């Protein structure tokens, strides 16, 4: 599920969370492709394809560089 990040200290504005209650953030989400609009999928269950990446400024937080995102039916 895509969620808006609540912390101003998070590495990106959106995060991918598990559908299971009580589970933590799976990855933070970003895209370098302007056609991939992550905000359009906020609060939706999705399929995401991309590459996991670690920013040297945020070594403890995995970031998923989203190549494609589609709703999970």
- For range 15-40, the mean pLDDT: 91
The pLDDT, as a whole number, for residue 43 is 94
**Could you tell me the maximum CA-CA distance found in the chain, to the nearest angstrom?**
36
2-11 pLDDT per residue, tens = 999 988 889 9
Query: How far is the C-alpha of 56 from the C-alpha of 50, rounded, in Å?
Result: 19
The pLDDT, as a whole number, for residue 48 is 96
Query: How far is the C-alpha of 52 from the C-alpha of 6, rounded, in Å?
Result: 21
The model's confidence at residue 58, banded by pLDDT at 50, 70 and 90, is: confident
Task: Give the three-state DSSP class for 26.
Answer: strand
pTM value? 0.86
């Amino acid at each position: 599920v895509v969620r808006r990040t609540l912390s101003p200290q998070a590495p990106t504005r959106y995060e991918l969370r598990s559908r299971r209650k009580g589970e933590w953030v799976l990855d933070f989400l970003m895209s370098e492709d302007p056609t991939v609009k992550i905000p359009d999928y906020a609060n939706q269950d999705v399929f995401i394809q991309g590459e996991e990446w670690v920013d040297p400024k945020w070594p403890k937080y995995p970031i998923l560089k989203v190549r494609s995102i589609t709703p999970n039916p």
